[in-house]
Amino acid sequence: MPEKIKILYIDDEADNLVGFKASLRFDYHVLTAVNIPQAMSCLENHPDIVIIFCDQRMPDKTGVEFFEDIRISHPLPVRILLTAYTDVESIIKAINKGNIFRYVKKPWVEADIISAIDEAHKFYKANSMLAVKNDELQKAYNELNKFAYSVSHDIRGPLSGILGAINVAREIDDIEEMKEMLFLMEKSLKKLDTYILSMHDYYSLQRGELKVTEIDFKKLIDELKDIYVVLARTSNVAFNVDIKQDDVFRSDIVPLKLIFNNLLSNAFKYQDKTRNDKSVDVSITVENNVATIYIKDTGIGILGSHIGEIFNLFYRANSQEVGSGFGLYNVKSALLKLNGQIEVNSVMQQGTTFKVIIPSI
């Protein structure tokens, strides 16, 4: 059964309220108020009121004045004025000040009221959908602004660095100085490459549909090990993996790889270089159709004031290494697609642990 449309009727004549409610009670959820304070109380207690009928001639203020008062505080309900006289000026004021949807003459006829309710309900649904679309559009506009800034900063920045190094290199004869310039150019190119790859992951997540297959976490991690074992050796970081999977687990391999790749990349990238016992530990347990994943590092840590922000688009908690601010945002987006969750526990100069929980699909 569809939920009944909730209607508020305000009239200082009690008999009118009784007649209105008696006529419409089977098809609609009717609330009544004999004065403006009662009407305001109803609006506060019932935020899902769709339509408001109000008599023009009320003792404390007119229907137009009441509608004008609630335009800001209660903008969603559709407003309909009931008037016993055809005063053109009052109707114009109602439209201009009270922003009414329509008016109905008194004494009203049930067919006119039902027709007004039907049209008002359609108008309410259209406005509600428009409000949702406007919110989505505003979010997209805000994201576009951030993206435009990021393109300018994260693409043009490295390119400017490369061009600067090239111009300096033209005047260099010393081989050691030339190597230093090449190192700077390599660093800028790596930053640019990281940004482009992260941006590709971002748009793949936004547009792609889930492709569910059986997931073997040992095989998945073995593929990633080919990338990170070399990095672990060159950076003198112990890379430890523990996997316990006896149950079948079904998910989409692409967002799973993205989650692991970004979290592991950060775990190696932000190691505390002053430590001799650097490590990255991965623990995966699959049971009761849920994968619980821990990725722990001996890194520099994340300030408590930053933890609530690190999953936001373009946010960077520190500038120790190159980054675009896409990585953890992409992790969060991937987890949303997989109906997963993530928790962060970090202590400065002691390391960070990410806990990821993903249900089987």
Q: Which of 20-34, 77-91, 199-213, 308-322 has the lowest mean pLDDT?
A: 308-322
Q: Could you tell me what percentage of the chain is helix, strand and coil, using 3-state DSSP and rounding each to the nearest 5?
A: 50, 20, 30
pLDDT digits (tens, 9 = 90+) for 245-267: 999 999 988 788 888 888 988 89
Q: Is 31 exposed, middle or buried (0-12, 13-18, 19+ CB in 10 A)?
A: buried
Domains and CATH numbers, the chain: 6-108 (3.40.50.2300), 212-361 (3.30.565.10)
pLDDT at 184: 74
pLDDT at 284: 96
Mean residue pLDDT of the chain comes to: 82
Q: What is the mean pLDDT of residues 307-317?
A: 66
Q: Provide the strand spans (E) within 56-175.
A: 78-83, 102-105
pLDDT at 65: 87
pLDDT at 164: 73
Q: Which residues is 218 bridged to in the sheet?
A: none
| pLDDT classification of 152: cutoffs 50, 70, 90 | low
Residue 27 clears pLDDT 50, i.e. is over it: yes
| pLDDT classification of 358: cutoffs 50, 70, 90 | very high
Cα dihedral across residues 146, 151, 152, 153: positive or negative:
positive
Q: Which residues is 51 bridged to in the sheet?
A: 7, 78
Asked whether 11 and 80 are in contact (CB, 8 A), the reply is: no
pLDDT at 156: 62
Q: Cis link prior to 107 (omega < 30° from 0)?
A: yes
pLDDT at 354: 94
The tokens describing 162, both together, are 């490369």
Asked whether 30 and 9 are in contact (CB, 8 A), the reply is: yes
Can you tell me whether residue 289 is helix, strand or coil?
coil
Q: Which of 18-22, 116-120, 178-182, 203-207 has the lowest mean pLDDT?
A: 203-207
Task: Give, as one character, the DSSP assignment of residue 200.
Answer: H
**Which has more confidence, 129 or 159?**
129
Percent of the chain exceeding pLDDT 90 equals 29
Residue 313 clears pLDDT 70, i.e. is over it: no
Can you tell me whether residue 294 is helix, strand or coil?
strand
Residue 321 clears pLDDT 50, i.e. is over it: no
Q: Which of 89-103, 182-196, 334-348 has the lowest mean pLDDT?
A: 89-103
pTM: 0.49
Q: How many CB atoms lie within 10 A of CB 207?
A: 7
pLDDT digits (tens, 9 = 90+) for 187-208: 767 766 766 666 666 666 655 6
d(CA 359, CA 62): 58
* Parallel, antiparallel or unpaired: strands 6-10 and 29-33: parallel
| pLDDT classification of 322: cutoffs 50, 70, 90 | very low
Residue 39 clears pLDDT 60, i.e. is over it: yes
Q: What is the mean pLDDT of residues 172-180?
A: 82
Residue 177 clears pLDDT 70, i.e. is over it: yes
Residue 10 clears pLDDT 80, i.e. is over it: yes
Reference 158, options 196, 192, 181; nearest CA is 192
Residue 31 clears pLDDT 90, i.e. is over it: yes
pLDDT digits (tens, 9 = 90+) for 101-119: 888 888 888 888 998 899 9
d(CA 353, CA 345): 5
